[in-house]
Structure 1
Amino acid sequence: MKIHLIINPSSGKESGARSGTELADILSARGHIVSRSYTEKKGDGTAFAIDAGKRGAELIVACGGDGTVNEVVHGMAQAEERLPIAIYAQGTVNDFATQLQLPLEAEAFADMIDRNKRMVLDVGRMNDRTFLNVAAFGAVSKIGHEVDVEAKTMLGRLAYVIEGIRTAPDLLNTPMPMRITMDTGEVAEGDFLFAGIANSRSVGGFSHFAPRALVNDGLLDLIIIQRTDVVTLGQILMRLRSGEHIEHEGIAYYQASTFEVTAENETAIDLDGEEAGVLPAKVQVLPAHLPCIIP
């Protein structure tokens, strides 16, 4: 098989290059025709994915974190031919890989590729951008962008926790009035602490953040955390790991295929951990859009 690896060398505490090289060597030894490219700046993953398709790749492997996967998917979604993707998770959080229970070790990952079992995934679209895992809105979604690369390298997930604690007072006191209209006829309107439209269950490192989400059901799941006090927010966070948070009165949960999102104030958008402008936005599902290699 002709396989192209798109590698983010700075992912996984700077281990991305080493991990990508190891996987490439294993696949080559098994008889695959392997090529690779290394991202250096924003947008490289998208450009490399488009180019790999034109050069005859039969499989594209995204080797990096959620942001790298997002760029690669965005490039693949623009191609006329729907090539399959394999996601070799090397980032700090790796939400989508967690959802699919993808192998993290090179030999096991190569075994998965050789088995060539596939699932056709839904993909999200926000305005003219695609995303695989989540479109998030508001102050909370900005936490990841405040963590610098050096802190991620040294501390991993702990860097996000530290930044969240540091910025918590500002987050709780920043008004975020929003209105979200769905194709189901439902409308969510209010002052939200967080709003996220998810394709998979795993968001922000919480594997049950959107517990009803499926990656191939033709729907996206909207999770809203209402603005509240510190004590109530703590109660919600305590339930996140089990998925029981959606039963809390401070949470609103919806499923739909199209969402129109507006805000009174300038409100940031985050797609799979990457900055993507500000509201307003139209978010919709592209059902059965991307073949993916799975265990």
Structure 2
Amino acid sequence: MKAYHVIVNPNSGNGKGLPVQKKVQEYLESRGIAAHFYFTEKAGDAREMAKNLVPETVKVLGMIGGDGTYNEVLNGMTPGAYPLAVIPAGTGNDFCRMLAIDSWKKATETMIEGTCRMVDYGEVNQHRFLNVYSTGLDAAIANQANQWKGRYPGAFLYTAALIRQVRRMKRYSYEVIWDHGTYKGEGILVAIGNGAYYGGGMKISPRASLFDGKLDVCLLKPLSPWKLLLLFPTVFMGKHLSFQEIIYVQTKQVRLKVQEEVCAMNMDGEIYEAVQLDVSLVTGKLALMIPKD
């Protein structure tokens, strides 16, 4: 018999995961709904837990955590084998923001009463991502934010990390090839979005949709630190596309090569290292519970 299963990262969001789990469990019990809860202890556990679930027993798999937890689950499961449901308990909760899920209660109601839709997800060098893959300044900011978790709250954490990293801003030599174009030259960052938000509410890919079969590529060319600080607030509203230093395209595939020995990459909030990336979109293969209209 199929049942609700929930993977919980108790340490996500500086310890938000466990209190959220207790509220979710109490709410489900108040409605007479049983669920199986699994608690991670270290990085990689969520991936293994998802991998070991028997699809025939899963009605919906809930995920309590942040974008990094969702990414682990996506890379452990077989996409489409059962629906996923996101329950925000992270630092930025950017993917939940894309779905207009702003509380544990709305997320739990969506898990049990929402609409199941088939959505897109990305693949990069044989790894899946749900939200945004990026490199350059924003990866440095994400890395700084990860180091400072617990020191600053929510979106301010990423703002503080930005201010710190702007003083160390580095230019990278990029070669970016998409369906109908190429950019070869210096840049500050490249963000490839399936989702719209990252970094605690920055709308880096304002035209992104989980249903359109397209990746949104945002490249920032070199600019002064002062102009970057002028541009930065506009990203939260998705108004940065008017700046001449921005290249923004929609595509199904992207090849990104960084002319450095190694470069930090930010995949759904987690930091990796790579030199060349082949990014593609898998269209409409992931079952996801979304709020009813």
TM-score when scaled to structure 2?
0.92
For 1:269, the equivalent position in structure 2 comes to 265
How many residue pairs were aligned? 288
Superposed, which structure 2 residues align to 1:57-136 within 5 Å? 57-76=58-77, 78=78, 82-106=81-105, 108-136=106-134
For 1:34, the equivalent position in structure 2 comes to 35
**Contact 2:158–2:199 (Cα < 8 Å) also in 1:** no
Distance (Å, rounded) in 2 between the aligned partners of 1:175 and 1:84: 41
**Contact 1:139–1:268 (Cα < 8 Å) also in 2:** no
Superposed, which structure 2 residues align to 1:155-174 within 5 Å? 155-157=152-154, 158-171=156-169, 174=170
Are 1:16 and 2:17 matched, yes or no?
A: yes
- The alpha-carbon distance between structure 1 residues 180 and 40, as it changes in their structure 2 partners (threshold 3 A), is same
CA-to-aligned-CA distance 1:55-74 (integer Å, 9 cap, x gap): 72221111001111111111
Q: Which sections of structure 2, spanning at least 5 residues, go unmatched?
A: none
**Contact 1:99–1:207 (Cα < 8 Å) also in 2:** no
SS at match of 1:242: coil
Distance (Å, rounded) in 2 between the aligned partners of 1:96 and 1:146: 20
**Contact 1:98–1:207 (Cα < 8 Å) also in 2:** no
For 2:276, the equivalent position in structure 1 comes to 280
CA-to-aligned-CA distance 1:226-252 (integer Å, 9 cap, x gap): 111022212321321222211110100
SS at match of 1:213: coil
Are 1:201 and 2:196 matched, yes or no?
A: yes
CA-to-aligned-CA distance 1:256-283 (integer Å, 9 cap, x gap): 0111111111222111011232120100
**Contact 1:5–1:61 (Cα < 8 Å) also in 2:** yes
SS at match of 1:239: helix
Report percent identity of matched pairs.
25
Q: Which sections of structure 1, spanning at least 5 residues, go unmatched?
A: none
For 2:287, the equivalent position in structure 1 comes to 291
Are 1:152 and 2:152 matched, yes or no?
A: no
Distance (Å, rounded) in 2 between the aligned partners of 1:35 and 1:104: 21
Question: Of the candidates 167, 173, 177, which is equivalent to residue 173 of structure 2?
Answer: 177
- Structure 1 residue identity aligned to 2:265: I
Distance (Å, rounded) in 2 between the aligned partners of 1:148 and 1:231: 25
Q: CA-atom RMSD, angstroms? A: 1.8
> Per-residue deviation at 1:206?
3.2
- The alpha-carbon distance between structure 1 residues 160 and 242, as it changes in their structure 2 partners (threshold 3 A), is closer
Distance (Å, rounded) in 1 between the aligned partners of 2:229 and 2:269: 23
Distance (Å, rounded) in 1 between the aligned partners of 2:152 and 2:62: 26
Distance (Å, rounded) in 2 between the aligned partners of 1:234 and 1:164: 9
- The alpha-carbon distance between structure 1 residues 284 and 148, as it changes in their structure 2 partners (threshold 3 A), is closer
**Contact 2:257–2:276 (Cα < 8 Å) also in 1:** yes
**Contact 2:85–2:110 (Cα < 8 Å) also in 1:** no
- Structure 2 residue identity aligned to 1:67: G
- Structure 1 residue identity aligned to 2:91: T
For 2:236, the equivalent position in structure 1 comes to 241
> Per-residue deviation at 1:165?
1.6
> Per-residue deviation at 1:217?
0.5
- The alpha-carbon distance between structure 1 residues 199 and 249, as it changes in their structure 2 partners (threshold 3 A), is same
- The alpha-carbon distance between structure 1 residues 247 and 53, as it changes in their structure 2 partners (threshold 3 A), is farther
Are 1:224 and 2:222 matched, yes or no?
A: no
- The alpha-carbon distance between structure 1 residues 243 and 109, as it changes in their structure 2 partners (threshold 3 A), is closer
Segments of 4+ in structure 1 off by > 4 A? none
> Per-residue deviation at 1:147?
3.5
- The alpha-carbon distance between structure 1 residues 260 and 148, as it changes in their structure 2 partners (threshold 3 A), is closer
